[in-house]
Amino acid sequence: MNSLRLLVSCVLISRCWSTEEPTFPPWFKFGVATAAYQVEGAWNVSDKGEGDWDRLFHVHPELKGHPNGDVACDSYHLWRRDIEMLEELGVDMYRFSISWPRLLPTGFPNHISQDGKNYYNNLIDGLVEKGIEPLITLYHFDMPQSLQDLGGWANPLIVNWFEDYARVVYTLFADRVKIFVTVNEPFIICELGYSKGHVPYHQDQDVGRFLCNKNTLLAHAKAWRLYDEEFRPLYHGKVSLSNLFIWFEPATPADKELTELALEHWEGRYGHPIYSKEGGWPLKIQKFLNDKAMKEGYPYPRMIPFTPEEIELVRGTYDFYGLNHYTTFLARRARPGEKIGRWPLYGSEELGMVMEGDPSWTTGEVDWFTMHPEGVRRQLHWLNDTYGVKEIIITENGYIKVDKQLNDWSRLKYTKDYLEQILLAINDGINVTGYTHWSLMDNFEWMVGYNVNFGLYSVDFKDPNRTRTPRESARYYSKVTRSRSVNHRHIGLNYV
Ligand code: NOJ
């Protein structure tokens, strides 16, 4: 096939198999991702406001001695080195987040930090200068403590506060940034945040988590509409949110219905109101949870109803589906009396569901991770069939490790196998246009601190210079981005 025909066939029908090796289509963008609190450090420089994670780790008595993100990877000072690493990797884009308290120390736009503004402008300009596209996440788990004190995501006013913040970010950066993620993983914000697994570190599974569920969606929708109305005509960019979406498959044919409920619980409550044609809550999980609330004697439904205006406000507020995919589980109904093992949280207990890997799959190094790369391809099909989304960007995918070795063969293999499935999905006709690997480098992994790592680059956290060193997976990924192929023979790596 000559190159012109190959290009034409890529453009028309998304099939990009050369005669020898399958390659990613020319429009597909490779990238890596990080988030402000996990990498920036510099928690109190200049006029930065206190963030809720700062408060949690500095003050909460239960967490005394817990590691924190005070310095983290020190990207606040080492951003030039970060850009160098991106160049070494040969990526097309870099997903990073803005620290709300760094940019707006009070949480409100009454005061925009000059220092915060400079930091992000330098980073963005540095990226653009090297031809690397910046992708900004507005909210990646960290909020000004001032707003958390007022109830954070449980306070309906957060919807307006978030819109105000979004306006500042768009006004300052949208001239150079064309892709925005409003809220990262609302599932984690609400489900973990209200079960003491994240900020705000509250235990409130019955009310707080559902206020948060609704308010994150409304805030996202307002921020999307703001861009759509005032900034899109000027800058022609794209805005969506990123959902954590663990993929489920039924353990037995009898578990099919339970699996559908699990998908609505995990993804539907955070995706259906935005991506479905009809909008609003997904009905099965809504009924299930509301019946439960009634049995428990609550006078209000657990899933806080949307008004018809709110349904319309949220429906259709996306330009792509932002997918954070890490792993797949089999779902099965718990046997009578069976203890729901390692996943008692996140609703599996509520659903009476056991989540486990198939014995034939490789288990990861921690209990929440199994390797089943085919899962991502099936999930991409599901997204396409269920919502008919026109574009999907994989905003996170990566491999957790406990040891810090530079020879991270298992991460390399995970990356290869998952990219291979993504490429197959593209060739099935699913429009996946980008992939930002989590993560550029080891960083602060929230409640597990520095005990696990996701980095293509290792970071020496004992070294005041936070020296970064490429792992084997970084070398591999840099070959992938340049050859646009995942095949090790093709790229000259001999790791099998
Ligand atoms: C999702 C989150 O967005 C990110 O902050 C986290 O570090 C990774 N998953 C790995 O757990």
Nearest CA to ligand 1 atom 10: 445
* Residue 201 falls inside a structural domain: yes
In angstroms, the CA 103 to CA 303 distance is 33
Mutate which of 181, 445, 448, 451 to test ligand 1's pocket (most atoms within 8 Å of Cβ)? Answer: 445
Q: How much is the pLDDT for 364?
A: 84
CB 280 within 8 A of CB 310: no
Strands, E assignment, 146-285: 179-184, 238-244, 247-250
Residue among 28, 176, 25, 31 nearest 93 (CA): 31
Q: What is the pLDDT of residues 268-299, one digit of tens each?
A: 999 999 999 999 999 999 999 999 999 999 99
CA of residue 186 to ligand 1 center, whole Å: 12
Tell me which residue range forms the domain holding 263.
30-481
Of 38, 39, 185, 401, the one to substitute when testing ligand 1's pocket (max ligand atoms within 8 A of C-beta) is 185
Token pair 């949870």: residue: 289
Instruction: Judge contact between 495 and 32, C-beta under 8 A.
Output: no
Q: Name the residue with the closest Cα to ligand 1, atom 5.
A: 35
Residue 398 Cα: closest atom of ligand 1: 10
- How far is CA 449 from its chain centroid? 18
Beta bridge partners of 133: 93
Write the pLDDT tens digit of every residue in 49-68: 999 999 999 999 999 999 99
Taking Cα atoms as reference points, which of 330, 452, 337 lies closest to residue 399?
452
Contact 323, 425 (CB under 8 A): no
Q: Is 10 contained in some domain? A: no
How far apart (Å, rounded) are the C-alpha atoms in residues 241 and 224? 9
Query: So what's the pLDDT on residue 343?
Result: 53
d(CA 474, CA 480) in angstroms, rounded, equals 10
Query: Partners of 32 in the beta sheet?
Result: 94, 437
Contact 25, 434 (CB under 8 A): no
Q: Give the nearest ligand 1 atom to 454 CA.
A: 10
Residue 19 lies in a domain: no
Please tell me the distance between residue 296's alpha carbon and the centre of ligand 1 in angstroms. Answer: 33
Is residue 341 in some structural domain? yes
For residue 447, the Cα-to-chain-centroid distance in whole angstroms is 17
451 CA → ligand 1 middle, Å? 14
Q: Whose CA is nearest to atom 6 of ligand 1?
A: 445
The count of residues in the chain is 496
Nearest-atom number in ligand 1 for the CA of 446 is: 7
Low-confidence ranges of the chain (pLDDT < 50): 1-19, 344, 495-496
d(CA 369, CA 416) in angstroms, rounded, equals: 16
Give Cα separations from 491 to 1, 410, 481 (angstroms): 21, 18, 10
Q: Residue 83 sits in a domain of what CATH number?
A: 3.20.20.80
Q: How many domains does the chain have?
A: 1
Provide the CA 478 distance to its chain's centre, in angstroms. 22
Separation of 188 CA from ligand 1 center, angstroms?
A: 9
Instruction: Give the Å distance between the CA of 485 and the centre of ligand 1.
Output: 26
Residue 232 backbone phi and psi in degrees, to 5: -60, -40
Euclidean distance between CA atoms 104 and 147, whole angstroms: 11
Q: Is residue 492 part of a domain?
A: no
Answer for the pair 402, 365: CB distance below 8 angstroms, yes or no: yes
* 438 CA: nearest ligand 1 atom: 8
- Distance between CA 263 and CA 331 in Å, rounded? 10
List CB contacts of 22: < 8 A, sequence separation 6 or more: 16, 423, 427, 485, 486, 487
Residues with catalytic function? 185, 396
Which residues, in sequence order, are CB contacts of 495 under 8 Å at separation 6+? Answer: 409, 412, 413, 472, 476, 488
Q: How far apart are CA 73 and CA 465, in angstroms?
A: 9
136 falls within a domain:
yes
pTM: 0.94
Question: How much distance in Å is there from the Cα of 245 to the middle of ligand 1?
Answer: 12
Top mutation candidate among 446, 448, 453, 456 for ligand 1, by most atoms within 8 Å of CB: 446
What is the torsion angle, in degrees rounded to the nearest 10, for the CA atoms of residue 155, residue 161, residue 165 and residue 170?
110
> Does 24 map to a domain?
no
Give me 329's structure tokens.
Answer: 């589980």
* Closest protein CA for atom 7 of ligand 1: 445
Give the span between the Cα atoms of 339 and 337, in whole angstroms: 6
Atom of ligand 1 nearest to the CA of 185: 3
Q: Are strands 328-333 and 353-356 parallel, antiparallel or unpaired?
A: antiparallel
pLDDT of residue 363: 84
- The CA–CA distances, whole Å, from 417 to 126, 235, 429, 442, 483 equal 32, 36, 19, 21, 16
Sequential DSSP letters for 338-405: ----S--TTTHHHHTEEEE--TTSEE-SSTT-EE-THHHHHHHHHHHHHH--S-EEEEE----BSS--
Which of 105, 139, 143, 98 lies closest to 121 in space, CA to CA? 98
- Select from 328, 327, 366 the least CA-distant residue to 250: 328
Q: Is the Cβ–Cβ distance between 37 and 140 less than 8 Å?
A: yes
Q: Give residue 91 CA to ligand 1 midpoint distance, Å.
A: 20
Tell me, what DSSP letter sits at residue 22?
B
Q: Separation of 198 CA from ligand 1 center, angstroms?
A: 12
Cα(111) to ligand 1 centroid in Å equals: 30
**């990566």: which residue's tokens?**
398
Which atom belonging to ligand 1 lies closest to the Cα atom of 141?
5
Is residue 433 assigned to a domain? yes
Query: Ligand 1: residues within 6 Å at CB?
Result: 35, 38, 184-185, 324, 396, 438, 445, 454
- The predicted pLDDT at position 369 comes to 83
